[in-house]
Structure 1
């Protein structure tokens, strides 16, 4: 079994964070997540995250420090999720490669059905251990 390295952006705009909904046809379809995606072989994680956000939401971000690292198993697949604090640069996101997106506070995240790997990140943002 190999580890799949995935990046995720915690994009801050004032007191809210951007979350994205996976397309219905995607694995874990219609689940909510912090936007990002798989790294290409040899790709720098911050560069890969910037690329994924352009591909998924058609917007530029400023990638900051690591916020959390999650190791999660989806059946036979093992992913290592690298979550980064990211700065919003004022460009409106679009649903280029996602179903929907929302700006929400950490408290409001409880109303959304997140992918399993993202749940610990939600809890950390909410201050729950």
Structure 2
């Protein structure tokens, strides 16, 4: 099983960041809460700080465990661990994504998310 972390990044307006996977990446064209694979002996919080610095050029502060979900993508089994996080600093520069939006929770249902993220979308939309 591959452990993956996802950041539910909130801004000062109560909006959540979502990002679309660019062409050529796994889950291309689908929306997700940004994050990435945990390295050996890395916590989900450490992973999120590292991944968002690498993939979006931003510093975040994960502050609250949100939920987790196990999902099979064909032969690949992942455990997606989500944390709420605050944007601390940086100007967004996309690497693995081709678009991002800040949306209010009720707008999440308007986007097509990667299957592993759907459980989080439903919980946030409640």
TM-score by length of 2: 0.94
Partner of 1:32: 31
Partner of 1:4: 2
The unaligned stretches of length 5 or more in structure 1 are none
SS in 2 for 1:113: coil
Displacement of 1:42: 1.4
How do residues 23-62 of structure 1 correspond to structure 2 at under 5 angstroms?
23-62=22-61
The answer on whether the counterparts of 1:31 and 1:114 sit within 8 Å (CA) in structure 2 is yes
The unaligned stretches of length 5 or more in structure 2 are none
How do residues 1-129 of structure 1 correspond to structure 2 at under 5 angstroms?
3-13=1-11, 14-127=13-126
Distance in 2 separating the partners of 1:73 and 1:99: 24
Distance in 1 separating the partners of 2:51 and 2:90: 15
SS in 1 for 2:102: strand
Distance in 1 separating the partners of 2:16 and 2:42: 25
Distance in 2 separating the partners of 1:92 and 1:107: 26
Distance in 2 separating the partners of 1:49 and 1:91: 15
Runs of 4+ with >2 A deviation:
none
The answer on whether the counterparts of 1:55 and 1:97 sit within 8 Å (CA) in structure 2 is no
The answer on whether the counterparts of 2:21 and 2:30 sit within 8 Å (CA) in structure 1 is yes
Displacement of 1:90: 4.4
Give the paired residue count: 125
